[in-house]
C-alpha cells in the first residue's frame, strides 16, 4: 500500500494536503495521473463529509435547467392563450399532495451483501409483527429505527411532496390514508415501515409550474416555441442559455421544492455510489485517502472504471475545490 508523501523527495503530484512522489507515480501516464488527482480530491471530500458543498455548482445548474423548462412551458401557454383559470381547473382534477409521514428504517443499501440485506429485512418483519400486535408506532420508531435522529423525532419526517423522497417511498406513502401503516417497503437505503400521519393538497400557486409543463406539452410543441424565442437571444449556445436563465429570473420562476430535493438527491446518490464503489469513507486520514485513491486507480472492475470516468467528467468541480500542482507543470 502506498502512502502520502512523507519523505524528503519532492512531490510530483499534490492535491490539497496530499502529495505523491515520483517513485509512487512511477509508470503512470499523464492521463492516469490526472485520474489519480481527481480520485484523491474526491476522497478528501468524502473524508470530511462535504460532497454536498462540492456539488452545489452542479445542482445549481440543474435547477437553472428546470427553470428554463418552466419558461419554455410558460411561453407555449402564452402563444396558445392559456391562462391560470384553465390551469387551475386542470389541477383540481389531479392535485399534488403534501404528505406527513412517520417511518422506521433498517439500513441496508442495495450494494450490501445478500446476508446483510436479509438481516435487515428480518428486523423489519419483527418490527411489523410488533406493530400489528399493538405496539405504538412512534415509540417503536424511537426504539428501533436506524435513521440518524429517529429517536428524538420518533421517526417523523419533514412533510414531503412528490420528488422529496425516493419513488418507492413516495408510492407507499401516497397509497395510504391517514393512520394507515404500510407493508415493509424496500428502497435503495434499506427496509422501511411507514405510517401516514396526514395529507394536504398543495395550493395551486405552489404547484403551478408542474401543471404548466403538463398542459403545455398537451397543447403545443414546446421545443419549437422555445426555439423561436431563442432565435432572438443570440447565436451561441452559451448566449442563449444565459438569456433564458435571465428571462426565468426576470419572471421570478422558481423550481418546486420537491424537484429541488430530487436534484439534490440525484447528486447525493451519485456520490454515495462513487464512494462505496471505490472504498472512500467519512473520517479517513490523509494517508488512508491517498492509499484508497491508488487502490481505486488500479481497481480493474468494470464498475470502478465507470465510476472513474464519471468522477473525471466532473473534474472541474474537484479542481475548483482543491489546489492541484504537478511537478511537470512547474
Q: pLDDT by residue (tens digit) across 175-187?
A: 999 999 999 999 9
The structural domains of the chain, ordered by start, are: 11-49+282-329 (no CATH), 54-93+203-260 (no CATH), 97-201 (3.10.50.40)
Phi, psi dihedral angles at 102 (to 5 degrees): -110, 140
Q: Is 195 helix (H, G, I), strand (E, B) or coil?
A: strand
Phi, psi dihedral angles at 195 (to 5 degrees): -125, 130
Q: Is 185 helix (H, G, I), strand (E, B) or coil?
A: strand
**Does 133 have pLDDT greater than 50?**
yes
Report pTM.
Answer: 0.80
Q: pLDDT by residue (tens digit) across 51-84?
A: 999 999 999 999 999 999 999 999 999 999 999 9
> DSSP state, 80?
T
Could you give the CA distance from residue 113 to residue 231 in angstroms, rounded to a whole number?
Answer: 54
pLDDT over 90 for what percent of the chain? 84
CB contact at 8 A, 205 and 257? no
- C-alpha separations of 37 from 17, 28, 294 in Å: 12, 12, 10
**Does 7 have pLDDT greater than 90?**
no
- Per DSSP, which regions of 267-315 are E strands? none
Q: pLDDT by residue (tens digit) across 240-271?
A: 999 999 999 999 999 988 899 889 989 998 99
Amino acid at each position: 500500500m502506498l502512502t502520502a508523501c512523507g519523505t524528503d523527495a519532492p512531490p510530483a503530484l499534490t492535491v490539497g494536503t496530499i502529495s505523491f512522489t515520483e517513485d509512487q507515480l512511477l509508470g503512470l501516464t499523464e492521463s492516469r495521473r490526472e485520474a489519480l488527482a481527481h480520485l484523491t480530491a474526491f476522497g478528501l471530500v468524502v473524508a470530511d463529509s462535504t460532497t454536498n458543498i462540492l456539488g452545489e455548482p452542479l445542482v445549481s445548474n440543474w435547477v437553472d435547467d428546470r427553470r428554463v423548462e418552466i419558461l419554455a412551458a410558460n411561453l407555449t401557454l402564452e402563444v396558445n392563450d392559456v391562462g391560470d383559470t384553465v390551469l387551475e381547473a386542470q389541477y383540481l382534477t389531479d392535485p399534488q399532495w403534501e404528505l406527513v409521514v412517520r417511518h422506521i428504517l433498517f439500513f441496508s443499501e442495495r450494494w450490501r451483501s445478500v446476508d446483510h440485506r436479509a438481516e435487515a429485512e428480518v428486523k423489519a418483519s419483527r418490527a411489523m409483527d410488533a406493530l400489528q400486535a399493538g405496539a405504538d408506532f412512534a415509540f417503536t420508531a424511537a426504539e428501533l429505527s436506524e435513521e440518524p435522529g429517529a429517536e428524538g423525532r420518533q421517526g417523523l419526517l419533514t412533510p414531503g411532496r412528490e420528488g422529496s423522497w425516493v419513488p418507492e417511498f413516495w408510492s407507499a406513502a401516497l397509497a395510504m390514508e391517514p393512520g394507515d401503516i404500510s407493508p415493509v417497503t424496500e428502497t435503495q437505503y434499506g427496509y422501511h415501515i411507514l405510517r401516514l400521519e396526514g395529507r394536504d393538497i398543495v395550493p395551486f400557486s405552489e404547484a403551478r409550474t408542474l401543471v404548466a409543463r403538463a398542459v403545455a406539452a398537451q397543447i403545443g410543441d414546446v421545443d419549437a416555441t422555445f426555439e423561436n424565442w431563442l432565435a432572438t437571444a443570440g447565436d451561441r449556445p452559451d448566449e442563449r442559455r444565459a438569456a433564458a436563465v435571465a428571462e426565468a429570473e426576470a419572471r421570478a420562476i422558481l423550481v418546486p421544492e420537491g424537484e429541488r430535493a430530487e436534484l439534490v438527491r440525484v447528486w447525493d446518490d451519485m456520490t454515495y455510489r462513487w464512494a462505496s464503489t471505490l472504498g472512500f469513507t467519512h473520517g479517513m486520514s490523509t494517508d488512508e485517502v491517498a492509499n484508497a485513491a491508488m487502490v481505486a486507480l488500479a481497481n480493474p472492475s468494470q464498475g470502478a472504471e465507470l465510476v472513474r470516468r464519471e468522477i473525471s467528467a466532473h473534474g472541474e468541480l474537484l479542481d475548483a475545490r482543491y489546489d492541484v500542482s504537478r511537478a511537470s507543470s512547474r
